[in-house]
Amino acid sequence: MTTELKKLPQHIGFIIDGNGRWAKERGWPRNKGHRYGVKNLDVVIKECFFNYHIPVVSVYAFSTENWNRPKTELDFLFKYFTDYLNAKDFVKKYPHVRLNIMGDYTKFPEALVKNAKSVIEATKNETQFVLNLGLNYSGQDELVRAVNTMLAEKLEPKVDRATLQNYLYTKDQPLLDFVVRTSGEQRLSNFMLWQVSYAELYFPKIYWPDFGKEDLYNALLEYQSRDRRFGAIADSGTEA
């Protein structure tokens, strides 16, 4: 790793895909893949915040569609999320990080909900870094929620982009600059549909448990090479 990274995203998102397939290829149960996936999540988050100083990290941990998985797998995931969201451990692992949960996490088991609320409360005054954790999250549902809230408040005369953004889970945050989806799948799967509007997308053919520090570096190196014009004209005169 000799190339200096001079241009880094202010907001990076991760769709952490491939835990089950990673385990299956090794002849292991899917839950073992999730165990390694959660451990790797900790590594990548720390690297983003404390090595590269990326202010906002968003993680798609559990979608509204994930409820369709077998109960044994759901119970396993809920236990790991509950352990991960231990307030004392979270604050120790992630100093200066505020937790923001995207999605209706109150649908989860009581112990998980209790831990999540404790971390939110313990970190609410942190301003240096933000971790957006998608739990029971859907990008479409987020937009519907925002619109319904605005309707309930009877906003007039009409809504503009800035107003709508103020009703999203990511209020007052920059939009996504870069989204990484592991496992080689090339779709967003309902992830932060508003925030992803101008993001660069990266689809490494590697399962999430194997996505290590070097892979993150390579992803950021790829981001650095992208020419983000936002609809403007490039220096060469070529239209975007």
Residue 66 annotated in active site: yes
- Please report the pLDDT score of residue 136 as a whole number: 98
pTM, to two decimals: 0.92
Among the residue ranges 8-12, 55-59, 190-194, 234-238, the one predicted with the least confidence is: 234-238
In a domain, 6, yes or no: no
- 181 touches 13 (CB < 8 A): no
The rounded distance, in Å, linking the Cα atoms of 156 and 76 is 46
DSSP letters spanning 157-198: S---HHHHHTTSTTTTSPPPSEEEEGGG----TT-STTTTTT
Residue 235 annotated in active site: no
In a domain, 5, yes or no: no
The rounded distance, in Å, linking the Cα atoms of 42 and 93 is 9
In a domain, 64, yes or no: yes
In a domain, 3, yes or no: no
What tokens appear for 129 in the block? 């870094």
Peptide bond before 157: cis, by omega within 30 degrees of 0? yes
- Please report the pLDDT score of residue 5 as a whole number: 86
- Digit-coded pLDDT (tens) for 43-86: 999 999 999 999 999 999 999 999 999 999 999 999 999 999 99
- Digit-coded pLDDT (tens) for 90-137: 999 999 999 999 999 999 999 999 999 999 999 999 999 999 999 999
Does 59 or 237 have the greater pLDDT score? Answer: 59
> Which range of residues forms the domain containing residue 97?
11-225
- Sole residue written with tokens 């408040």: 153
Across residues 25-53, what is the average pLDDT?
A: 96
The rounded distance, in Å, linking the Cα atoms of 107 and 39 is 24
In a domain, 100, yes or no: yes
Selected catalytic residue, list 19, 31, 66, 235: 66
- 133 touches 59 (CB < 8 A): yes
In a domain, 4, yes or no: no
In a domain, 43, yes or no: yes
- Please report the pLDDT score of residue 88 as a whole number: 97
Q: In total, how many domains does the chain have?
A: 1
The rounded distance, in Å, linking the Cα atoms of 115 and 82 is 6
Across residues 137-160, what is the average pLDDT?
A: 90
The rounded distance, in Å, linking the Cα atoms of 202 and 205 is 10
- Does the pLDDT at position 155 exceed 80? no
Report the CATH number at residue 111.
Answer: 3.40.1180.10
